[in-house]
Amino acid sequence: MISKIEKIRQQVIVCKKCELCKYRTNAVPGKGNFNADLFFIGEAPGRSEDRLGEPFVGVAGKKLSIAFEHAGISRDEVYITNVVKCRPPKNRVPKEDEEKACQKYLKSEIDLIKPKIICIMGNTAYRSLLGGNNILKNRGKIIKKNGNLYFLSVHPAAIIYNQALMSTLKKDMKSLVKTLNRLNEG
């Protein structure tokens, strides 16, 4: 299994399936625990992630870490990835054809890790995976689809522009952990 995830990593690093490959410094494969119960999906790498080749290591990543800490989640026990693995120019929202081109990597990550809950962070992941919109209205909800369990939350980058969302993210992470605990208790 580790070798299968590593294979995806290697494919992402050299991938040229969409035009985002032209703008990247580094592609950013998912990272984390291959046996994770919790699997987090954001939108796309930002500037720091593009520079370092790792997901959620910039300002948004720090916000996410704060919310994780608040809920008692360790980064070592979860898996974190994005809808697209290369940074769109000026952090624009990924285009549909880019999301489509990158979809097979995300699907393989989910299929291999088989998390108990997939946490959707933000509108892009919500639309791309579940066809939803208005994450602010729907955050905190749990959705079952195609055998997977999804939990909806805000994207940590949104906190940069709206500080009030920090408490929303913290609250959601606590609720996510409670949901996981309930599942584990059967």
Q: Give the long-range contacts of residues 57-63, CB within 8 A, separation 24 or more.
A: 59/157, 59/160, 60/155, 60/156, 60/157, 60/159, 60/160, 61/156, 63/156, 63/157, 63/159, 63/160, 63/166, 63/169
Of 5, 57, 101, 169, the one binding ligand SF4 by CB under 6 A: 101
Residue pointed to by tokens 């913290």 = 170
Least Å from the CB of residue 20 to ligand SF4: 4
Of 15, 36, 67, 73, the one binding ligand SF4 by CB under 6 A: 15
Is residue 106 part of the contact set for ligand SF4 (CB under 6 A)? no
The answer to whether 62 and 48 are in contact (CB under 8 A) is no
Least Å from the CB of residue 79 to ligand SF4: 17
Is residue 93 part of the contact set for ligand SF4 (CB under 6 A)? no
Strand arrangement of the beta sheet that strand 148-153 belongs to? 31-32, 79-82, 38-42, 117-121, 148-153, 142-145
Nearest to 176 by CA among 146, 150, 137: 150
Of 38, 84, 110, 154, the one binding ligand SF4 by CB under 6 A: 84
Least Å from the CB of residue 170 to ligand SF4: 30
The nearer residue to ligand SF4, 41 or 176, going by C-beta atoms, is 41
The nearer residue to ligand SF4, 30 or 58, going by C-beta atoms, is 30
Is residue 87 part of the contact set for ligand SF4 (CB under 6 A)? no
The nearer residue to ligand SF4, 5 or 15, going by C-beta atoms, is 15
Is residue 109 part of the contact set for ligand SF4 (CB under 6 A)? no
Cα gap 62→68, rounded to integer Å: 10
Cα gap 83→120, rounded to integer Å: 10
Is residue 78 part of the contact set for ligand SF4 (CB under 6 A)? no
Cα gap 171→26, rounded to integer Å: 33
Of 5, 8, 17, 135, the one binding ligand SF4 by CB under 6 A: 17
Q: Would you tell me which residues interact with ligand SF4 (CB under 6 A)?
A: 12, 15-18, 20-21, 27, 84-86, 98, 101-102
